[in-house]
Chain A
Amino acid sequence: MNIRIWIYYFKHAVSNILSNQWIHLISIGTISISLLLFGAFTLFFVNVNTWMVEWGQSLSMSVYLDDGIQRDVKDEIESIIKGLPGAEITGYISKEKAEADLIAALGAQAGLLDGITSNPLPASFEITFKDRKEHQVDAKRIKVFLDQLEGVDEVQYSEQWLERFEDLIYLLKLGGLIVGGLFSVAVLFIITNTIKLTIYSRRDEIEIFKLVGATDWFVKMPFLIEGAIQGILSGFIALLILFLAYSLFSLKTVHIFGLPVMDIVFLPYGYILLIFIFSLLLGLTGSFIAVGRFFRLLG
């Protein structure tokens, strides 16, 4: 490999970017926004996936009790639950505690409950199942079993919600892929047209290069590098903004109904690298298309 020639290509690519600053600034800005949206989508999916894996590992269940349940029936239910393999009661939430939690969660909107004279919330046992695989815990069978016990009003478990959520995630993933694809096409379009503009602004120069015996690749290479630089710079800017936004957002704990919920993680290194490679490839492909079209016109 002739390093001298590559230095020459890079110098020309950089000088081309500097002499067409505005076109490149606008282009890099637009590509960065597209990649930022793409990165935000990826960040969202990465986090949702992490949460789903964490939730999937431990099963939690709420056993809602009938109103006015007798103490001995309640004790009976408690002892049955304790006898279930891998089950552990993490808490008993009385009707009063449930109401107090709801009022705390509603905060300023607690006034909504003013018209309600009696407490409609049921008491419940909160259960978690550990080492699910080892104990071969079948959530559906346990639900059916507990549902038919005297004094049990309803049984809900996290997996039910998780199963419904998985369908939603699948739809979101599909939507993300379509949106990502459209963004990629848009980015390709922007890069192709930016490079095309810079090529046309240097048309005379290219003609002279060809007349003094430059090979096609000698002329093409600085433009390809220009596209690659655009792609990488845009990827870097997009990831930087995404990281800053993430840092700001992750300083606050996410609360849902007054409860601190899951940690938000940033993109793993592998994903960051993938976004860089993706930006680079988009830049290269865009400039390759532009250069190819120009040389076809040149004959």
Chain B
Amino acid sequence: MIQIFHVAKKFGTKAALEDINLKFQKGEFVFITGPSGAGKTTLLRLIFGAERPTEGQILINGINLNRINRSRLDPLRRKIGFIFQDFKLLPRKTVSQNVALALEVAGERPSIIRKKTRQVLRAVGLAKKEQAYPLQLSGGEQQRVAIARAIINDPLILLADEPTGNLDPDITREILLLFRTINLKGTTVVIATHSKELLKNTDQRIILLKGGKIVS
């Protein structure tokens, strides 16, 4: 599903990642962890195609991100859900409109958009908040809106950058449960986190990054 070969990324002269080699299978659930500045976010952004590697190759479902042009990257992004640490919700749009955005850009029919939006909001426990605005929601609820938007397209891959960064332990467990449910449907889930709560008692694959290199 995701293949990373000898990938390095530099910002100016500073190396953010060095010689990264990884493979994620379809339906795998993986944590990427490490201290701040280890390169977790950079690795996710490379997989998402938001950055290009300085060296090496990244293949998503057999498509080499180095050789893809912008017009082919957009449809590929619709198959990858990305959950941002700061949620990236539109404050002037309702919960329902924020979630529907991912289907609107794909040119989906309005009836299907309405149906799928309701379904996914029910799945993340926000059915009653669909007309609320992001700023009227708690941090945990905003995170769930971001998750709903990321999974509404039934993505092949779900990338989450510190998805529980600002949340308390109870909500963190709820969010983790949500990811597991999504993963059970066959979506490859990659979570970048330094949250001990998320990693506690997990039997999933954990990749530890330090100073831009894979430690274990």
Contact = CB atoms under 8 A, between A and B. Distances in A.
Check if A and B associate.
yes
Interface of A: 2, 4-5, 8, 19, 204-205, 207-216, 218
Contacts of A216: 70-71, 74
A215 B109 contact: no
B77 A211 contact: yes
Nearest to A2: B107
Given A208-B101, A213-B75, A213-B78, 13 more contacts: A5-B107, A8-B104, A207-B88, A208-B89, A208-B90, A209-B101, A211-B77, A211-B82, A212-B77, A212-B101, A213-B102, A214-B74, A216-B74
A21 to B, nearest CB: 15
12 contacts: A5-B107, A8-B104, A19-B92, A208-B90, A210-B74, A211-B88, A212-B105, A213-B74, A213-B77, A214-B105, A215-B71, A216-B71
Nearest to A211: B82
B101 A215 contact: no
Contacts of B104: 8
A4 B109 contact: yes
A215 B90 contact: no
Interface in B28-54: 50
| 6 interchain residue pairs of minimum CB distance | A213-B78, A213-B77, A214-B105, A212-B102, A215-B74, A213-B74
Contacts of B153: 213
A204 B87 CA distance: 12
Contacts of A215: 71, 74, 105
Nearest to B104: A8
Given A8-B104, A204-B90, A205-B90, A212 B109 contact: no
A210 B110 CA distance: 20
A25 to B, nearest CB: 20
Contacts of A207: 88
Contacts of A19: 92
B105 A218 contact: yes
B90 A212 contact: no
B123 interface: no
Interface in B90-131: 90, 92, 101-102, 104-107, 109-110
Contact of B88 (A208, A213, A214, A218): A208
A224 B75 CA distance: 22
Nearest to A12: B104
Interface in B141-158: 149, 153
A211 B92 CA distance: 18
Contacts of B109: 4
A204 B110 CA distance: 24
B78 A212 contact: yes
B46 to A, nearest CB: 15
Nearest to A218: B105
Contacts of A208: 88-90, 101
Contacts of A5: 107
Contacts of B78: 212-213
Contacts of A204: 88, 90
Nearest to A216: B70
Contacts of B82: 211
B153 to A, nearest CB: 8
Contacts of B107: 2, 4-5
A212 to B, nearest CB: 4
Contacts of B89: 208
A4 B102 contact: no
A210 B49 CA distance: 11
B90 A213 contact: no
A213 B106 contact: yes
A147 to B, nearest CB: 79
B83 to A, nearest CB: 11
A216 B77 CA distance: 13
B130 to A, nearest CB: 18
A212 B102 CA distance: 5
A299 to B, nearest CB: 9
Nearest to A5: B107
A297 to B, nearest CB: 14
B105 A209 contact: yes
A213 B105 contact: yes
Nearest to B91: A204
Nearest to B48: A211
